[in-house]
Amino acid sequence: MGAALVAGVDVGGTKVLAVVADERLRVLGRARLGTRRGERGVVDTVVRAVTEAAHRAGVAPAALAGVGVGVPGLVDASAGRVSHAVNLGLHDQPTELAGGLRERLGVPVVVENDVNAAALGAHTLRPVGGDLALLSIGTGLAAGLVLGGRLHRGARGAAGEIGHVPVDPAGMACSCGQRGCLETIASGAALAAAWTPGAGHPATSPWQAAAAGDAAAAAAVERFSAGVAAAVRLLVLTWDVETVVLAGGVTEVGRPLLEAVRAALRRQEATAPLMAALGLSGRVELLGRRAPVAALGAAWMARGRLVDDLPSAQEVS
């Protein structure tokens, strides 16, 4: 049984989620642990999470066919190296993550950027095909692309890094060294900087505050939603993807975010015939909480099968 199973791991700045899945990506065991920073801390946490998830699936970690890991930062997928994952304490010196994990676990390990892994996972959940971009809106902003049924990384692994496209030359300084990047408008960090609840404020999100009549919150939501809409427009105009799936921590607010982004896109469609012809507002979806997509995408990569052989949404639990 174990040889047919793979593990997928989603490594984040605060948590590591591991799943063990069968050949149809049905989750048989999972584990969630707090992230430890630094090369040793990340490796230790992933090993512990995989071990715990495997035991819950009824197998030893060494019996797994492979392990896939989705991790933030710049990832050299062919070499299994990671760098510039600041939230993990991994900086400009590349970390041999795949090699370190392979040595500890004794099974093949593949490493991929976490947003790319999430895009692959989201692809498994959709009942229809077509090119897909997963727009991850968390602390930062980035996209993963599945084009022609395959993950698109680009020449140097930077495809989808649209958060660092400058859109306002007079805008805020960005962590990448540029100014006015899309990430300074349409990210969780940008939204938090634009609106913070006052003392004793009952609202837990700017959407709630805006609905309650908070003018500052309403302005923050409008600017943020326009920024996300600009990201959707950029993805469609650049790669003409059929669907842009919104994911990431900020999307936990749910449909209010989706409707605000669609409204911003409809305003663009009303004044630009090309945008209307592209039907932008109808091409954006909300991922929601259907499944651990980054971990499932990483598990699929560990299996080493072609993306266009992915199971249908109805077959994934």
Give the max Cα distance, the chain: 59
Contacts (Cβ under 8 Å, ≥6 apart) of 125: 287, 290, 291, 293, 313, 316
Give the pLDDT score at 203. Answer: 67
Q: Which amino acid is at 131?
A: D
Over the stretch 63-99, which tens digit does the pLDDT of each residue have? 999 999 999 888 888 889 888 787 788 888 888 999 9
Give me the pLDDT at residue 200, please. Answer: 60
What whole-number distance in Å separates Cα of residue 189 and Cα of residue 144?
20
Question: Looking at residue 88, what is its pLDDT?
Answer: 86
Q: Is residue 309 predicted with pLDDT exceeding 50?
A: no
In the predicted model, is pLDDT for residue 197 greater than 90?
A: no
Question: Average pLDDT of 167-196?
Answer: 90
Give residue 177's pLDDT. Answer: 86
Residues 262-296 have pLDDT tens digits of 999 999 999 999 999 999 999 999 986 667 899 99
- Annotate 165-222 with three-state secondary structure: CECCCCCCECCCCCECEHHHCCCHHHHHHHCCCCCCCCCCCHHHHHHCCCHHHHHHHH
Long-range CB pairs of 31-40 (<8 Å, 24+ gap) are 31/56, 35/11, 35/88, 37/88, 37/89, 38/88, 38/89, 38/90, 39/89, 39/90, 39/95, 39/97, 39/100
pLDDT, averaged across the chain? 88
Report strand pairing: 81-83 vs 74-76. antiparallel
Q: 257 falls in which pLDDT band (50, 70, 90)?
A: very high
Residue type, 252: E
Phi, psi of 302 (to 5 degrees): -65, -30
CB 286 within 8 A of CB 254: yes
Q: What percent of the chain is modeled with pLDDT above 70?
A: 91
315, pLDDT greater than 60: no
Per the DSSP assignment, residues forming a β-bridge with 69 are 9, 111
Q: What percent of the chain has pLDDT over 90?
A: 59
Q: What is the pLDDT of residues 39-69, one digit of tens each?
A: 899 999 999 999 999 999 999 999 999 999 9
Mean pLDDT of 149-178: 88
Q: What predicted TM-score, i.e. pTM, was given to this entire model? A: 0.86
pLDDT surpassing 70 at residue 2: no
CB 112 within 8 A of CB 96: no
Cα–Cα distance, 258 to 245 (Å, whole number): 10
Position 25 scores a pLDDT of 85
Does residue 22 carry a pLDDT above 50?
Answer: yes
Residues 91-148 pLDDT 10s: 888 889 999 999 999 999 999 999 999 999 898 777 677 899 999 998 889 999 999 8
